[in-house]
């Protein structure tokens, strides 16, 4: 019914399998996408995590993951900020930049 946090929490349950009996990462991804379309920062970060690692038949896509993290960061999501910092510290698709990574962690 258009409530972003409800979709995000459904995504959490589907991803973990808790409360719904069976894990379904593909359905979790769809639930997060609905919330992300409504600018829910937690859903954007969760999509980033799923894209960074890959899941089911979806290969890892760190570049798209970083885009989701950046959107979540702009909305004030601190978990996304940490994930972006890790990209800089590890040099994943952004080039190693320890100063930027440390700056973001502060």
Q: What is the pLDDT of residues 54-103, one digit of tens each?
A: 999 999 999 999 999 999 999 999 999 999 999 999 887 788 888 989 99
Over 70: is that where the pLDDT of 1 sits? no
Q: What is the pLDDT of residues 4-56, one digit of tens each?
A: 999 999 999 999 998 777 899 999 999 999 999 999 999 999 999 999 999 99
Tell whether the torsion through CA atoms of 70, 66, 49 and 86 is positive or negative. Answer: negative
Domains, the chain: 4-105 (1.25.40.10)
Q: For the beta carbon of residue 88, count every other beta carbon within 10 angstroms.
A: 20
Instruction: Answer yes or no: are the C-beta atoms of 90 and 96 closer than 8 Å.
Output: yes
């Amino acid at each position: 019914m258009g409530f972003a946090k409800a979709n995000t929490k459904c995504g959490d349950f589907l991803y973990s399998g808790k409360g719904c009996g069976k894990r379904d990462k593909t359905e979790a991804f769809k639930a997060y996408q609905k919330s992300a379309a409504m600018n829910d920062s937690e859903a954007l970060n969760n999509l980033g995590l799923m894209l960074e690692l890959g899941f089911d038949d979806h290969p890892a896509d760190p570049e798209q993951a970083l885009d989701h993290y950046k959107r979540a960061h702009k909305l004030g999501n601190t978990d996304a900020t940490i994930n972006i910092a890790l990209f800089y510290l590890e040099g994943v698709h952004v080039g190693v930049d320890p100063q930027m990574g440390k700056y973001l962690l502060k």
